[in-house]
Structure 1
């Protein structure tokens, strides 16, 4: 008889019901790694920006001020967040689909939307882009 081909790993999880559904809780001493998680505010802001962009393109709002009044936010905040809808497609793909961790804050991502698409990934993810 040789050594077994499988390994058993036991993780102490608890199952609790929340709203009638089972929910798996991690161990009490579990601390998620801060540097390996994407900020959920980034995804929320991108989704909101795309929603606002669609509404403006559909003619629901003529100006950013009209949109800001409708969503009850400051015009400056709305115009800054709206820039997220114009990020480079490869940056959006990495943020939304691959959920890659950014090297900058949400505010810095909105500022980098004004950069050329080829430069945005370097700013957002802190890496040089391979071209060609």
Structure 2
């Protein structure tokens, strides 16, 4: 008989389960990315394109058209300022387990090199 012990933790997340490895990174199987974070990033870049193209002149106009609060639009737009490697990690589902949308948008660092440190993520480059 052979016994294999693998350290991991399973947590309920939405309708599925999240498996956490000892390093604190999430392994979500085939559905790797956190849909809340991915949707927020997609919205942020879409909204930025709308503002840059002149479709909407202000964040208030954009928020009114989307029927949401302008302060939420402002906070989510900050995601377009994240370091590209952090955005890539989120889209790939490699973000640290404690990363949530509110935590991510509350204080975006000015320097990209500081983003990984602020969200407790190992630097890849």
Q: So what's the TM-score if we normalise by structure 2?
A: 0.69
Q: Does 1:81 align with 2:76?
A: yes
Please tell me whether Structure 1 or Structure 2 has the larger radius of gyration of its CA atoms.
Answer: 1
Match of 2:63 among 36, 60, 68: 68
Distance 2:109 2:18 in 1: 31
The structure 1 segments of at least 4 consecutive aligned residues displaced by more than 3 Å after TM superposition are 127-131
Unaligned 5+ runs, structure 2: 1-15, 21-25
Unaligned 5+ runs, structure 1: 1-30
Over the residues paired in the alignment, what is the CA RMSD in angstroms? 2.0
CA-CA distance at 1:130 after TM superposition: 6.7
| Higher RCO, Cα 8 Å, sep 6+ | 2
Distance 1:46 1:34 in 2: 23
Q: So what's the TM-score if we normalise by structure 1?
A: 0.65
Match of residue 101 from structure 1: 95
